[in-house]
Amino acid sequence: MLKITFMGAGSTVFARNVLGDVMCTPALRECEIALYDIDGQRLEESCRILSTINRNVNEGRAVIRTYLGVENRKEALRGARFVVNAIQVGFYDPCTIIDFEIPKKYGLRQTIADTLGIGGIMRALRTIPVMADFARDMEEVCPDAYFLNYTNPMAMLTGYMLRYTKIKTVGLCHSVQVCSEGLLKKLGMEDKLEGRKELIAGINHMGWLLSLQDKDGNDLYPEIRRRAKEKNAAEKHDDMVRFDYIDKLGYYCTESSEHNAEYNCFYIKDKYPELIDRFNIPLDEYPRRCIKQIADWGEMSRKLMEDDSLSHTRSREYASLIMEAIVTDQPIRIGGNVLNTGRLISDFPEHACVEVPCLVDGAGIHPTYVGALPPVCAAMNMTNINTQLLTIEAARTRKREDIIRAAMLEPHTAAELSIDDIIRMVDELIEAHGPYMAMYH
């Protein structure tokens, strides 16, 4: 029987989406689902909700088992063909709070802090050791499994897995699928959605919409550029940073404006506080979301668990599509995060983690060659890739000096702080994270 293991199954809503998709897919639904987490209550909640969906949409065909705690991790993984990763090491409290509050003392303000910035660096450094443990277990009990990584910081974690483990890994994000659709809807160009053709490539959360044509092959970018500039001048909205990218850089990118506000040295600047209002940047956005989610979860989980009619419709997440393509040998195209082996994007080093179109079929995941990006897009990506590669190096060496170097080369941190303050901040963060960063010296 096909076995699918979900690491971090206490991420109930996401587990419901991915595994609900599996149960809606004829080629996958007669499977064994292994739910793994270190939080017993959340694990049980996820199991109950998924069992209801299994009964209602899948006639109970899937076998669902739970595995609690590190001591049961290897059994959760044993014999798996696919492993989905959605862990969050350190939770909101204490680690996310630390990642926001200590940098704030040094004048460094963040919005999301899960991809780049000092928050992204810290998140990677506490997550990579856990994922390295997963890889060691997988190499022993399911060496041929595909590891589908959804955990951020995507490029750092996926890049580490691909470079330093033997596990077949691809990083998956939600933002590629909805990029051009969201843009056209925001600009009142819904009539161009059907039959459109696009190319997206770059790095995770800064993949560039390199071309967009309507069904007849007409270039949509001239009209997009005109409307985006007009919209930014006329009104406040939630995508002003990316629309400014279109104006200043010429291209739109995959992840939201609140994310991209902190991936560069342009928009969050202590010397220019007016930019926060001008570009409608939601500082401390991720903590706000976490607090609301935690407050709402009790009621939401109760309703989900008590709903005997709970159902599911297949989502747009890539995970079940990849599994289906590999199992059936029916090819699909996805946007995947992979190593830049063979210079898929010719501007970047081979050990960078890039986000490019990939073909998936019975033989696995096959990244496609993109070539050179527009110079300004490549330059923007490289400022992020530098930090990603230095953070992966710090995770490999486990040396404090390498963490400091990663922070020194991070665009937003470097623009705001002196080297002395960066060193002090890193030391304080390592100490505050305690056991989560105890392996670094």
Residues with catalytic function: 174
Q: How far apart are the first and last CA of the chain?
A: 45
What is the separation of C-alpha 336 from the centre of its chain, rounded to a whole number of angstroms?
11
Instruction: Tell me the residue ranges of DSSP E strands in 46-93.
Output: 63-68, 82-85
Please tell me what DSSP assigns to residue 253. B
**Tokens 């080369």 — which residue?**
409
Please tell me what DSSP assigns to residue 131. H
Q: For residue 17, what are its two tokens?
A: 């989406």
Q: For residue 99, what are its two tokens?
A: 């990642």
What is the separation of C-alpha 284 from the centre of its chain, rounded to a whole number of angstroms?
18
d(CA 195, CA 202): 23
Asked whether 103 and 168 are in contact (CB, 8 A), the reply is no
d(CA 384, CA 205): 10
**Tokens 């002090």 — which residue?**
424
What is the separation of C-alpha 177 from the centre of its chain, rounded to a whole number of angstroms?
13
Q: Residue 300: its pLDDT value, please?
A: 86
Output the DSSP codes for 96-111.
IHHHHHHHHHTT---S
**CB-based contacts of 182, cutoff 8 Å, min separation 6:** none
Q: For residue 5, what are its two tokens?
A: 């293991």
d(CA 431, CA 88): 20
Asked whether 377 and 230 are in contact (CB, 8 A), the reply is no
Q: Of 185, 216, 186, 210, whose CA–CA distance to 198 is shortest?
A: 210
Pairing of strands 2-7, 31-37: parallel
Residue type, 180: S
Bridge partners of 361, per DSSP, are 364
Asked whether 16 and 52 are in contact (CB, 8 A), the reply is no
Three-point CA angle 146, 147, 153, nearest 5°? 155
Using DSSP, state whether 261 is helix, strand or coil: coil
Tens of each residue's pLDDT in the chain, 441 residues = 999 999 999 999 999 999 999 999 999 999 999 999 999 999 999 999 999 999 999 999 999 999 999 999 999 999 999 999 999 999 999 999 999 999 999 999 999 999 999 999 999 999 999 999 999 999 999 999 999 999 999 999 999 999 999 999 999 999 999 999 999 999 999 999 999 999 999 999 999 999 999 999 999 999 999 999 999 999 999 999 999 999 999 999 999 999 999 999 999 999 999 999 999 999 999 999 999 999 998 888 888 888 889 999 999 999 999 999 999 999 999 999 999 999 999 999 999 999 999 999 999 999 999 999 999 999 999 999 999 999 999 999 999 999 999 999 999 999 999 999 999 999 999 999 999 999 999
**CB-based contacts of 420, cutoff 8 Å, min separation 6:** none
Residue 319's CB: how many other CB atoms inside 10 A? 25
Q: Of 170, 148, 140, whose CA–CA distance to 87 is shortest?
A: 148
d(CA 54, CA 385): 41
